[in-house]
Chain A
């Protein structure tokens, strides 16, 4: 019973293409996140989404857009892929939106995106 799942696990594509990564959580959590982990293993938050409120990291290019069809899903759409988008993308979920209170995040297994 996977708590947070992502598909696909690996994604190889050409520059300029548009791709999506899907994320689902079965924990009943209110908040979901997308993170990017680069080759140096730095983890950076891209988005958090809670009850239809989207909080965007201002450094994220607008080619990236999260889409939430329901509370259990937060998909990541990427347009016009660039070489620098190559990274591992993690989805996560947590009970609430705030890390200013007890709020454990549960991470998915990651999607390794390679842009050629």
Chain B
């Protein structure tokens, strides 16, 4: 079974770039990597998904190295409203979640 691990928490300031890494050493050939954001008292919300190299959308970028055993979610110029818990999902297994706190 895939096991996904993430840092428990990260702190940042408004306007900075934040990079959150997820480790998924047992990823299978066909597995995609997906990231979700969760605010308190809400369900997780899809941010981005990728298979390899780099994916970018209007809110984030996802970097996946060639061996695909890890992935990095990059949030450019975070704001206070980005304070949330971020989860990676691989092969149906959610990571442990990273609590991002953005300070003014």
Residues of A participating in the B interface, judged by any CB pair closer than 8 Å: 4, 35, 41-45, 48, 90, 92, 99-110
In contact, B92 and A99 (Cβ under 8 angstroms): yes
Most chain B beta-carbon contacts within 10 A, residue among A4, A92, A99, A102: A99
Write the chain B residue with the least CB distance to A94. Answer: B46
B91/A109 in contact, CB under 8 A: no
User: Residue on B with the closest CB to A101?
Assistant: B32
Closest to A109 in B: B43
Chain B: interface residue total (CB-CB under 8 A): 25
**CB-based A-B contact count at 8 angstroms:** 59
Tell me which residues across on chain B come within 8 A of A48, comparing CB atoms: 92
- A106 interface neighbour in B32, B41, B46, B89, Cβ under 8 Å: B46
Contacts A43-B94, A44-B94 hold; do A100 and B43 have CB atoms under 8 A apart? Answer: no
